[in-house]
């Protein structure tokens, strides 16, 4: 069983975390670095990544169900787990964003 897909996903998550951390100064204000990734772009790319993982999982499942000789049960299960993990991660990010928004809205000025 190959773990290259999982390793690639971990590298992508670490890269996204490093990019997100690079845009924040020590005092908590966002740095105005030219060429820095926009929050909306990073969010959109993350959502697209989750969508691609889910599509790959669906395609692998359909190929296996159709009896394709290229479909391997282990690869199908790994694709399903990757899709599930990426979706759960996106849900947790959404929950944190909603919580941060509610904290900001409840702050007295």
Write out pLDDT tens, residues 26-77.
445 555 567 778 888 988 999 999 999 999 999 999 999 999 988 899 999 9
**Which DSSP string corresponds to 72-89?**
-HHHHHHHHHHHHHHHHH
User: Is 12's pLDDT higher than 70?
Assistant: yes
Spatial distance between the Cα atoms of 66 and 61, rounded to a whole number of angstroms: 9
Spatial distance between the Cα atoms of 78 and 99, rounded to a whole number of angstroms: 31
pLDDT for 38 = 86
Contact criterion met (CB below 8 Å) for 33 and 27: no
User: Is 25's pLDDT higher than 50?
Assistant: no
Spatial distance between the Cα atoms of 30 and 6, rounded to a whole number of angstroms: 31
Mean of pLDDT over the chain: 83
pLDDT for 40 = 87
pTM across the whole model: 0.62
Q: What percent of the chain has pLDDT over 70?
A: 80
Comparing CA positions, the residue from 50, 29, 39 lying closest to residue 92 is 50
pLDDT for 31 = 55
Comparing CA positions, the residue from 85, 98, 77 lying closest to residue 49 is 85
pLDDT band at 2 (very low <50, low <70, confident <90, very high): low
Residue located via tokens 């590298």: 11
């Amino acid at each position: 069983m190959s773990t290259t897909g999982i390793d690639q996903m971990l590298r992508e998550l670490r890269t996204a975390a490093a990019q997100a951390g690079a845009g924040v100064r020590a005092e908590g204000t966002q740095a105005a670095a030219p060429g820095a990734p926009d929050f909306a772009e990073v969010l959109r790319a993350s959502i697209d990544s989750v969508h691609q993982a889910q599509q790959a999982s669906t395609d692998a499942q359909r190929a296996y169900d159709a009896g394709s000789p290229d479909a391997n049960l282990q690869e199908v299960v790994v694709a399903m787990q990757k899709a599930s993990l990426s979706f759960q991660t996106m849900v947790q990010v959404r929950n944190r964003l909603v919580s941060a928004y509610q904290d900001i809205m409840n702050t007295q000025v």
